[in-house]
């Protein structure tokens, strides 16, 4: 059957289509009724689904991560679209197109990768540059780096998202160093390139994005530090101090222990990297929220629990006048398609 995408859904529709059941839970309502609570995905977004009738029976027919066929009605609940499901069943492998379910970076990944290489080539510290070049030259690492998402759902959660996010953080690092010239530019640029390199092993992504066993047990900061240590051992005479500071950047870039940082940022470069990483991640997430708002005519989004607020979408405009997408000479990604709602 033709695929009906989540981005195409409107309230009060009777639908029948395929989705990834990325998460499923049996829950009990206040009146004691057991219902099936689902998170459903395709390449255009995600939506919550609830099944109230025969929930126990239906839940035994498929696993989290399966592609499912369902019949449902769309409805608005607290300003968000959700599905009231009447029928659900698993779909056998081969009976669907995997490209329908994984979102992809809206930019040409080869062009992004070329920009990345040019920015790293501008480093003057020979050891930091050689380390980055050694990682860039590793075909196994780079193949995964070009494909990996940067997160499961929060930001850059699509194929190529890690490459896009890394390039953006490096670009911010260059601009920060121009404003604060006392920073060690090469240390910050290398840290920006390497801070999330461990995400090539943190996620799995076939029909949906999820954490790997290594991602759940160890996490990308430790995985990234291991990649860096392995490459440093191949570079004769690599300074121990540079190695230590680079690993600190990786282990501290989340800023706070409550957000997963192994160590708090303890150098100016580590603090700057944390802020650049946090800014790029949050701007991407906010753009996704704005692009995926259910009512395009509304001045405000629905309440976003993660951020604890509504977001202003702008006053209505008569003429949009939006320009096309552009990747600047510094590697910055500019234009309306930088909003993650724009998909290939």
C-beta of residue 23 within 8 angstroms of C-beta of residue 38: yes
- Please give the Cα distance from 51 to 45 (Å, whole number): 20
Q: Which domains does the chain have, with CATH numbers?
A: 6-100 (2.40.50.140), 109-285 (1.10.3210)
C-beta of residue 57 within 8 angstroms of C-beta of residue 27: no
Question: What confidence score (pLDDT) does residue 320 get?
Answer: 54
C-alpha distances in angstroms, 29 versus 33, 36, 43, 69?
5, 10, 30, 25
Question: What confidence score (pLDDT) does residue 87 get?
Answer: 95
C-beta of residue 112 within 8 angstroms of C-beta of residue 163: yes
Neighbouring CB atoms inside 10 A of 179's CB total 8
How many residues in the chain? Answer: 344
Question: What confidence score (pLDDT) does residue 79 get?
Answer: 79
- Which is nearest to 205 in space by CA: 279, 337, 105, 290? 105
**Digits of tens for pLDDT over the chain (344 positions)?**
678 999 899 999 999 999 999 899 999 999 999 999 999 999 888 899 999 999 999 999 999 889 999 999 999 988 788 999 999 999 988 888 888 888 889 899 999 999 999 999 999 999 999 999 999 999 999 999 999 999 998 899 999 999 999 999 999 999 999 999 999 999 999 999 999 999 999 999 888 899 999 999 999 999 999 999 999 999 999 999 999 999 999 999 999 999 999 999 999 999 999 999 999 999 999 998 888 775 567 889 888 888 999 999 888 776 555 444 554 544 455 543 343 333 32
Tokens of 263: 């160590």
For the chain, give the secondary structure using H, E and C.
CCCCCHHHCCCCCEEEEEEEEEEEEEEECCCCCEEEEEEEEECCEEEEEEECCCHHHHHCCCCCCCEEEEEEEEEEECCEEEEEEEEEEECCCCCCCHHHCCCECCCCHHHHHHHHHHHHHCCCCHHHHHHHHHHHCCHHHHHHHHHCCCCCCCCCCCECHHHHHHHHHHHHHHHHHHHCCCCCHHHHHHHHHHCCCCHHHHEEECCCEEECHHHHHCCHHHHHHHHHHHHHCCCCCCCHHHHHHHHHHHHHCCCCHHHCCCCCCCCHHHHHHHHHHHHHHHHHHHHHHHHCCCCCCCCECCCECCCCECCECCCCCCCCCCCCCEECCCCCEECHHHCCCCCC
Question: What confidence score (pLDDT) does residue 224 get?
Answer: 97
Question: What confidence score (pLDDT) does residue 339 get?
Answer: 38
- Which is nearest to 206 in space by CA: 65, 47, 7? 65
- The structure's pTM equals 0.78
Sheet strands (E) in 159-226? 203-205, 209-211
């Amino acid at each position: 059957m033709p695929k009906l995408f989540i981005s195409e859904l409107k309230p009060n529709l009777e639908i029948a289509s395929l989705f990834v059941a990325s998460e499923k839970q049996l829950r009990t309502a206040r009146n004691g009724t057991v219902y099936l609570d689902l998170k459903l995905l395709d390449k255009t977004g995600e939506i919550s689904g609830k099944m109230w009738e025969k929930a126990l029976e239906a839940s035994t027919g498929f696993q989290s991560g399966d592609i499912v066929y369902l019949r449902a009605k769309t409805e608005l609940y607290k300003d968000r679209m959700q599905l009231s499901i009447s029928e659900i069943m698993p779909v056998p492998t081969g009976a669907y197109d995997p490209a329908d379910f994984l979102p992809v970076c809206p930019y040409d990944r080869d062009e992004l990768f070329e920009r990345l290489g040019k920015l790293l080539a501008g480093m003057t510290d020979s050891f930091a540059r050689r380390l980055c070049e050694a990682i860039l030259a590793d075909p196994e690492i780079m193949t995964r780096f070009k494909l990996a998402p940067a997160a499961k759902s929060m930001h850059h959660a699509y194929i190529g998202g890690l490459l896009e996010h890394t390039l953006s953080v490096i670009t911010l690092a260059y601009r920060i160093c121009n404003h604060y010239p006392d920073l060690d530019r090469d240390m910050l640029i290398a840290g920006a390139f390497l801070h999330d390199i461990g995400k090539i092993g943190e996620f799995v992504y076939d029909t949906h994005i999820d954490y790997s066993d290594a991602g759940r047990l160890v996490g990308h900061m430790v995985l990234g530090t291991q990649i860096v240590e392995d490459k440093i051992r191949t570079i004769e005479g690599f300074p121990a101090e540079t190695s230590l500071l680079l690993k600190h950047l990786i282990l501290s870039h989340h800023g706070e222990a409550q957000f997963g940082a192994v160590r708090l940022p303890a150098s100016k470069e580590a603090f700057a990297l944390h802020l650049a990483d946090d800014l790029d991640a949050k701007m991407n997430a906010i753009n996704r929220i704005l692009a995926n708002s259910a009512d395009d005519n509304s001045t405000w989004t629905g309440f976003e629990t993660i951020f604890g607020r509504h977001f202003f979408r702008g006053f209505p405009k008569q003429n949009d006048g939006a320009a096309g997408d552009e990747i600047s000479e510094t590697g910055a990604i500019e234009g309306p398609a930088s909003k993650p709602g724009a998909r290939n």
